Amino acid sequence: LIRYLLNVCIRSRSLQDSLIALDTLNLLHKSRKIRKLIERMWQEETKRSREWRGTSYEESIKEVAQSRLKQITIENDVETLAYGLLIANELNDQFLTEISKLLFRKMEPFWKIIFKGKTDEVRPILYDLSMALRALSLSPFINSVFIPFEQSEYVYEAIAWYEEKKRKGIIPITTVSYT
């Protein structure tokens, strides 16, 4: 299995398959016992490849992951973007913000469906939605708030109002509802 995952993450032409393999290897690598096995398998695999010969697993897998993350665009499906965000988060990578923006943009139509509240319309997108939310929950964006685009102007006005009050030294000490 580990040999297969290593080959998929390095050699697969499918971006999604490669990201899934990378995510799986990252999860497995957290176990001390399996970590040694992965690193041993990596050394065996690199003997057959000139490109990776003599490089450590950690160094090489990070390079592979960054190469794959560079390939992510808005054209990718939600699942691929979610796995990309998981990988970027695991690496604490520079692509984290960029991929999250793509994922948020891709999810915009989903929020509209969810805010309608019709269960039969939500079922077809449930898998993609759960993948996106899983990726976001494991990233620094766990405290994000989702607001329909049409109402985003109100949020900007509230932020501007708060910043203005803060600049003037008027900050509420207690939670108060402002309308």
Task: Render pLDDT for 64-92 as a digit per residue (tens, 0 to 9).
Answer: 999 999 999 999 999 999 999 999 998 87
115-153 burial: b if 16+ Cβ within 10 Å, else e: eeeeeeeeeebeebbebbeebbeebebeeeeeeeeeeee
pLDDT digits (tens, 9 = 90+) for 4-21: 999 999 889 999 999 999
The arithmetic mean of pLDDT across residues 95-107, rounded, is 88
For residues 58-63, give the mean pLDDT. Answer: 91
Amino acid at 176: V
CB 74, CB 67: distance < 8 Å: no
All residues at 6 or more sequence positions from 139 whose CB lies less than 8 Å from its CB, including other chains: 85, 86, 88, 89, 96, 100
What is the token pair recorded at 154?
């109100």
Mean pLDDT of 23-35: 91
pLDDT of residue 164: 85
Higher pLDDT, 174 or 16: 16
- CA-CA distance, 75 to 140, in Å (whole number)? 24
- pLDDT recorded at residue 137: 82
Q: Is the pLDDT of residue 169 over 60?
A: yes
Look at residue 176 in the predicted model and tell me its pLDDT: 54
Q: Cβ-count burial of 155 within 10 angstroms (0-12 exposed, 13-18 middle, 19+ buried)?
A: exposed
| Residue 43: alpha-carbon gap to chain centroid | 28
Which pTM was predicted?
0.74
- Per DSSP, the three-state class of 76 is coil
Give 111-162 pLDDT, tens digit per residue: 777 777 777 777 778 888 888 888 888 887 776 666 666 777 888 888 888 8
* Secondary structure E strands in the chain: none
Q: What is the pLDDT of residue 179?
A: 44
Contacts (Cβ under 8 Å, ≥6 apart) of 141: 100
Is the confidence at residue 177, as pLDDT, over 60?
A: no
Instruction: Count other Cβ atoms within 10 Å, centred on residue 84.
Output: 30
Q: Which residues contact 78 (CB under 8 A, 6 or more apart)?
A: 103, 106, 107, 128, 129, 131, 132
Residue 54 above 60 pLDDT? yes
